A = this chain, B = another copy of it.
Amino acid sequence: MNQELFTINNLWMMVATILVFIMHLGFAALEAGLTRAKNTVNILFKNTIIPALGILSYGFIGFSLMYPGEAFEGGFFGFSGFGLSLMDGWDTSAYNEGYTFYTDFIFQAMFAATAATIVSGAVAERIKLGPFIFFSLLYVGICYPIVGMWKWGGGFLQTLSTPFYDFAGSTIVHSVGGWGAIIGAYLLGPRLGKYKDNKINAIPGHNLPLATFGVFLLWFGWFGFNGGSVLSAAPGAVSLVFVTTAVAASAGAFGALFASYAKFKAYDITMVLNGILAGLVSITAGADMMAPWEAAVIGFIGGILVVFGVIFFDKVKIDDPVGAISVHLVCGIWGTLAVGIFGDLAGGAQILSQVIGIVAIGAFCVIFSFIIFYALKKTIGIRVDEQEEVEGLDINEHGMHAYPDFATKE
């Protein structure tokens, strides 16, 4: 490849890196906005420390687990050594046709922390900080890169006769986060009062402008998440991805709007916001191969699914304060299946491969999450005590309030 195209491709990958980075602010804002003011510092703390943890741990170990090169055997596991700084070749095009080694690393590192961030929302308002950070470290540093390698690192899902397909990570990123979220929320149990007296008691988010900010920033960043996953600035491919991403998000908003209005007879902003995310997660697996109308259908169905997901998980008393399981797990699965239903790869063999990928990655993540969370639960404990939960995690874990100048209700 010539120097000009190499420079352009690398530039787009770097811009995409920044866009994925800002998604972490999007998650922070969304999760803080959809929970109570008394737990806001705690959520901000988690969502600030996770990207920092993710970048460092991915550099130290994750990248080498996810892209082990020729080193792995059997396609299930590989490792090319500790520490980013051991590597070189960053300053030439020798590493890769499209971008430098350092671009590759930093783009991938921004993705990595996402898995733990998704978990963060589902376990919010009751998990202990220390155990959550510990879980995040292992989930980002070990679990995510191992299952990521199965496909993106050339592992067994890539070498199936009909390879599993997941363009930008409906399964590899979003449902990985979603599986951790469901296991965490299940083992923690619901927040106090959520399912009291056999009723589902809504616990409204304390700051809806903040939640809206979060969703717009996530959408904004998703142009880099999906667009950067083209791994070059190829005009046709990236611009198609932009259109499918935007159309699916828009259709997801309407899917959730219609479903929630039909169900609740109100214009529920939180459902529309989650509908946008549902559309985005749903298109992620096939954003590079759908016609715009297919993206609209996939996103619209995602938007409907997220509403019924939220209702369903409340029915089975898995308390997910921000709807993360419905958005990332349910729609992650849906989007991955949609690759086999729509687009260039539609067909039975592909659907089968998609199911194999979903199940294999799901099983690994469930077992991994369960072992870690269960071990933590049985030892140091994962849930704050009742008084702390009632008073709020902010004052108890952090010794501060998020909004000390304002009077609160009660």
A48→B272 contact, CB < 8 A: yes
Taking the nearest CB of chain B, how far is it from the CB of A382, in angstroms?
16
With an 8 A cutoff between CB atoms, is A379 at the interface?
Answer: no
Within 8 A of B (CB), among A373-410: 397-409
Question: With A85-B291, A204-B401 as given contacts, are A242 and B51 in contact (CB-CB < 8 Å)?
Answer: no
CB contact under 8 A between A247 and B216, given known A242-B103, A242-B106: no
**CB of A13, distance to nearest CB on chain B (Å):** 8
Q: Scan residues 82-138 of chain A and give those whose CB is less than 8 A from a CB of chain B.
A: 83-85, 90-93, 99-103, 105-106, 109, 129
Is A74 in contact with chain B by the CB < 8 A criterion?
no
Q: Is A254 an interface residue, CB under 8 A from the partner? A: yes
**Smallest CB–CB gap between A390 and chain B, Å?**
14
In A32-84, the 8 Å CB interface with B consists of 32, 36-38, 40-41, 44-45, 47-49, 51-53, 55-56, 59, 83-84
Contacts of A249 on B, CB cut-off 8 Å?
52
Closest B residue, CB atoms, query A10: B235
Residues from chain B with Cβ under 8 Å of A99 in the complex? 235, 239
Pick from B4, B38, B215, B217: contact of A8, CB under 8 Å: B4
CB-contact partner of A405 in B52, B216, B408, under 8 A = B408
B residues near A85, Cβ cutoff 8 Å? 291-293
Interface pair A243/B41, CB less than 8 Å apart: no
Q: Are A40 and B247 in contact (CB under 8 A)?
A: no
Closest to A51 in B: B250
Identify the stretch in A19-27, A142-150, A329-337, A348-356 within 8 Å (CB) of chain B at 4 or more residues. A19-27
A296, CB-defined interface residue at 8 Å: yes
Number of interface residues of A (CB under 8 A): 114
Majority SS at the chain A contact face: helix
Alpha-carbon distance A132/B405, docked complex (angstroms): 26
B24/A216 in contact, CB under 8 A: yes
Asked whether, in the complex, the Cβ of B216 is within 8 Å of the Cβ of A28, the reply is yes
A5 close to B4 (CB less than 8 A): yes
Closest to A48 in B: B272
B55, A212: Cβ atoms under 8 Å? no
Question: A327: CB under 8 A from chain B?
Answer: no
The answer to the question of A325 belonging to the interface, with a C-beta cut-off of 8 Å to chain B, is no
A266 touching B404 in the complex, CB below 8 Å, given contacts A8-B11, A105-B243, A106-B243 = no
Q: Report B-chain residues with C-beta under 8 Å of the C-beta of A400.
A: 204, 208, 266, 268-270
Q: What residues of B have a CB within 8 angstroms of the CB of A267 in the complex?
A: 45, 129, 397-398
Q: Of A176-184, A187-195, A219-227, A305-313, which stretch is located at the interface?
A: A219-227
- A sample of 26 inter-chain contacts (CB < 8 A) reads A6-B235, A7-B8, A7-B235, A10-B238, A11-B11, A14-B239, A25-B220, A38-B405, A41-B269, A48-B273, A49-B272, A51-B250, A52-B249, A55-B246, A55-B250, A56-B296, A59-B247, A83-B293, A84-B243, A85-B293, A204-B400, A208-B400, A208-B403, A209-B402, A266-B400, A269-B398
- Taking A6-B235, A22-B216, A37-B406 as known contacts, 6 extra A-B pairs with beta carbons closer than 8 A to each other, sorted by chain A number, are A3-B5, A44-B208, A48-B272, A48-B273, A406-B406, A407-B407
